[in-house]
Amino acid sequence: MTTTETESEIAADWADCMLRIHAERDTAAFSRLFEHFAPRVKAFLMKSGADAALAEECAQDVMATVWRKAHLFDPSRASAATWIFTVARNRRIDFLRKQRRPEPEELTWGPEAEPDQADVVALQQESEKLAKAIATLPAKQRELIEKAYYGDLTHSEIAEVTGLPLGTIKSRLRLALDRLRHAMQ
């Protein structure tokens, strides 16, 4: 991978790895995905309060789940990063909270098993836009979004940690979401 590749080309590359894992059980593609995402998943779990050993064990488990469930990945509905995030989030609930995680029914696949390429490209471009929009959020808004996702904290718990009134947190999160939504139009 060279530095001249755009974000969405890199994302397309990860999506391609996912499809190879599913179609060909390609361990080389899996290894590349592992090298990139396992350390991120581990960091994400440590930010959620797991110690290094638990985060390591859980991150390995997340990556093994990625291999096992690769057939559920649909590049027209989620980027590889987004899909791995959802796997990591669910394993975090299993591991750290020891709870079941109810998931919505899967959408049934139509007769055409292959996702539409135009949808795949559109999704990659939107993901790139979203990444830029999040990167340019005001620091205070971005910080709260991160806390809400990484911290395993409810809004009231964020209020306790940050000392901010709950109303302020809710309005900052709302501003951040409005800004993201606006950027995506």
Q: Which residues within the stretch 126-165 sit at the binding site for another protein (CB under 8 A)?
A: 126-127, 130-131, 134-135, 145-146, 148-150, 152-155
Kindly give the interhelix angle for 166-184 and 117-135, rounded to the nearest 10 degrees.
140
Dist. CA 157–CA 96, nearest whole Å: 17
Q: How many CB atoms neighbour CB 151 within 10 A? A: 15
Q: How far is the CB of 65 from another protein (least distance, A)?
A: 8
Can you tell me which of 38, 54, 121, 164 binds another protein, judged by CB under 8 A? 38
Residues 57-116 that bind another protein (CB under 8 A): 59-60, 63-64, 67-69, 71-72, 77-79, 81-86, 88-90, 92-93, 97, 99-109
Comparing CB distances to another protein, the nearer of 13 and 149 is: 149
Q: How far is the CB of 112 from another protein (least distance, A)?
A: 15
